[in-house]
Structure 1
Amino acid sequence: MDTSFIETLKNFLKESLFQIGPKLIYSIVAFVVGIFVIKLVMRVLKATLKKSKVELSLKTFVESLSVFLLYGLLFTLIGSILGVKATSFLAIFGAAGIAVGLALQGSLANFAGGVLILVFKPFQVGDLIHVNNNLGFVIKIDILYTRIETFDGRVITMPNGNVANSDVDNRTMNNLRRVDLTFKFALATKMETIRPIILEAMKNHSIVEKTPEPDVWLDQIGESELQVTARSWVKSTEYWPTYWEQLEAVKKALDENGIEIHIPRRVVFQGGDYKSTDLSKKE
């Protein structure tokens, strides 16, 4: 091998090492210090947000966005230390932005959806919502996703873009919520008989609101039954426990007063005679 080529290569590597070496060392130091500073800044930011009156949903969004921006600044600083000019960075970021934008259209839509959720506040962390056939409590809203926890302990992660463009049923936004119970009675049943029984059972519940008062109304007259609706108001956070307890309380009160829930029956004609068949019993 030509010795002149080897010497030229050695000289080139030495010159490159002397030129790039210090910058590379400075870049490594900047990276290590930058990571430390980012962790420190995030710790201070979290403590500040925790002490402030900022909503929890906004806190999680600000934290995740701050991490993204801080790391972006760190890599920009490292690039400048290595000799990459700001204009080059802008060109690189511009080209990368176009490529990433095309590749991550869904993520950008999710980011925009997260901003819309925080601005218009259809729900907040802690709210019970029903969206996209999922019912649960909101536990986190970050820059791309919203997480809810269902009643059976499952955690569902939903893209913010889909959530922002869906109908959101917020069941805890209002302080009060109405509990509706439906019962069916025989046509011969008198409303003046069953109304006070149902009302008393509902009013005896300790957490039912006094205003508006519970009420009981004949809702529908069917072919063989009366459909009665009983309504009461409770705090939104107490809806499901109250619903189940009210249902049991009314059933117990009706049983104690000898009033039966309507059972469908059918009449079968045979040879000029007929017999009544109770559908609740096995044939």
Structure 2
Amino acid sequence: MDTSFLETIKTYLKEILVSIGPELIYSAVALVLGIIFINLIMKVLKAALRKSKVELSLKTFVESLSIFVLYGLLFTLIGSILGIKATSFLAIFGAAGIAIGLALQGSLANFAGGVLILVFKPFKVGDLIHVNSSTGYVVNIDILYTRIETFDGRIITMPNGNVANSDVDNRTMNPLRRVDLSFKFAFDIKMETIRPIILEAMKAHPIVEKEPEPDVWLEEIGESEIRVTARCWVESIHYWPTFWEQLEAVKKALDAHGIETPIPRRIVYQGGEYKASESLPERKD
């Protein structure tokens, strides 16, 4: 091999090292110091998130987003040291953001909904909610999806975008919830008779709240019966067991006093027989 060619290569490499050598050294130093600085920031951030009451899914998202942003700034700084204009990095990040946004429109909507749910907390894991015609206990809240378990053991996964834009009925957010029972009685039954029977049966339940007190009221007068509403208050987590137990307790109390469920009645008036041979009465002007 021609020695002149090798000398040319060596000279060219030396010129490159002389021209960009300082920038490479500065870039390497900036990279090392940047990584150390990022690790320190992430330790402080993780400690702050652990002390806060933020949901686990949101903590993971914040940590991942922080790492992405910090390393993006570090690489932009290194590129500037090497002579790459910052506008080039901005153009690359912008194009990448547009491409990702177009490809993940639905996922981004779910992501935004998940952030809203985790930040504003319209419900949390363990709450009983009714949303989009589904009722169940919340078992998991991710950054993209919410999962609830229905009373019959089904797991329903709902996109957070739909949940965040829907009316959410949180049935365990308040500590107390009212139990409403509806009964029908015959017209001849007096409220003064059935009210104390129902109240005594409801107050006998061990977990019914003393305040507000249970009450019984005439709600409606129907075509063939009267409708009575009985109400009491319990802790929200005990709503359904108390509902069924109170319904059965009132039924037993009514049976013990001989009060039965009304039977629909209809009075039919039967007129006289029509005789075709009869003539119409003579009209008098």
CA contact (8 A) 2:198 2:253 kept: yes
Q: What SS is found at the alignment partner of 2:123?
A: coil
* 1:219 aligned counterpart, secondary structure: strand
User: 2:195 — aligned with what?
Assistant: 195
Tell me the number of residue pairs that the alignment of Structure 1 and Structure 2 aligns.
Answer: 243
**Structure 2 residue aligned with 1:257:** 257
- Mapped to 2, the partners of 1:266 and 1:73 lie a distance apart of 80
Which one of 54, 57, 73 corresponds to residue 60 of structure 1?
Answer: 57
Query: What residue number does 2:248 align with?
Result: 248
Once the two structures are overlaid, the 10-residue window that deviates more, 120-129 or 192-201, is: 120-129
Q: CA deviation at 1:262?
A: 1.9
| Secondary structure in structure 1 of the residue aligned to 2:118 | helix
Which letter maps to 1:255?
D
Other structure's SS at 1:136 match: strand
Supply the distance in 2 between the matched residues of 1:145 and 1:64 (Cα, whole angstroms): 14
Instruction: Note closer, same or farther for the CA distance 1:48–1:206 as it changes in structure 2 (3 Å cut).
Output: farther
Deviations 1:186-231 (A, max 9, x none): 1111111111110000000000000000000010011110100000
The 3 A distance-change label for structure 1 pair 104 and 148 is same
More strand by share: 1
- CA offset digits 1:71-124 (Å, max 9, x no partner): 676699799999998654432221121122122222222222223223433222
Residues of 1 paired with 2:200 and 2:243: CA distance?
16
Q: CA deviation at 1:127?
A: 1.6
CA distance in 2, matches of 1:101, 1:121: 26
Moved more, 129-138 or 176-185: 129-138
Q: Structure 1's 53 and 257: CA in aligned 2 closer, same or farther, altered over 3 A?
A: farther
Aligned to 1:107: 107
State the alpha-carbon separation in 2 of the partners of residues 75 and 91 from structure 1. Answer: 13
Per the TM alignment, residue 139 of structure 1 is displaced from its structure 2 partner at its CA by 2.4
Distance in 2, Cα, partners of 1:142 & 1:219 = 44
Q: Quick check: 1:215–1:232 contact (8 Å CA) kept in 2?
A: yes
- CA 1:119 to 1:61, structure 2 compared with 1: closer, same or farther past 3 Å? closer
Does the Cα contact within 8 Å between 1:76 and 1:89 map onto a contact in 2?
no
The verdict on how the C-alpha distance between 1:150 and 1:69 changes in structure 2, with shifts beyond 3 A counting, is farther
Contact 1:214-1:232 at 8 Å conserved across structures: yes
SS at match of 2:234: strand
* Contact 2:49/2:59 (8 A) holds in 1: no
Aligned mates of 1:154, 1:67 — CA distance in 2: 32
Q: Share of identical aligned residues, percent?
A: 69
In 2, the alpha carbon distance for the partners of 1:137 and 1:167 equals: 16
Question: Residue 198 of structure 2 aligns to a residue in which SS?
Answer: helix
TM-aligned CA deviation for residue 151 of structure 1 = 2.1
Report the equivalent of 2:133: 133
1:55-86 Cα shifts (integer Å, max 9, x gaps): 5x3x3222134235536766997999999986
Q: CA deviation at 1:271?
A: 9.7
- Greater Cα offset, 94-103 or 182-191: 94-103
Structure 2 contact 149–156 (Cα < 8 Å) conserved: yes
Query: 2:102 is matched by which residue type in structure 1?
Result: L
Counterpart CA distance in 1 for 2:67 and 2:85 is: 19
Q: Which amino acid aligns with 2:185?
A: F
Deviation at residue 169 of structure 1 after TM alignment: 0.6
Alpha-carbon distance, 1:184 to partner: 0.3
* Greater Cα offset, 62-71 or 215-224: 62-71
Name the CA distance, whole Å, in 1 between partners of 2:187 and 2:262: 9
Aligned to 2:186: 186
- CA shift, 1:131, in A, is 0.6
The letter of the residue matching 2:186 is A
Offset of 1:155 from its aligned partner?
Answer: 2.2
Unpaired runs of 5+ in structure 1?
1-10, 16-29, 273-283
Cα distance, 1:137–1:214 mapped onto 2, change above 3 Å? same
**Residues 172 and 237, structure 2, Cα contact 8 Å, conserved in 1:** yes
Contact 2:195 2:216 in 1 (8 A): yes
Aligned partner of residue 91 in structure 2, secondary structure: helix
Is residue 166 from structure 1 mapped to residue 188 from structure 2 by the alignment?
Answer: no
Other structure's SS at 2:112 match:
helix
1:161-184 residue CA offsets vs partner (Å, 9 max, x unmatched): 211111111111111100000000
What value does the CA root-mean-square deviation take over the aligned residues? 4.0
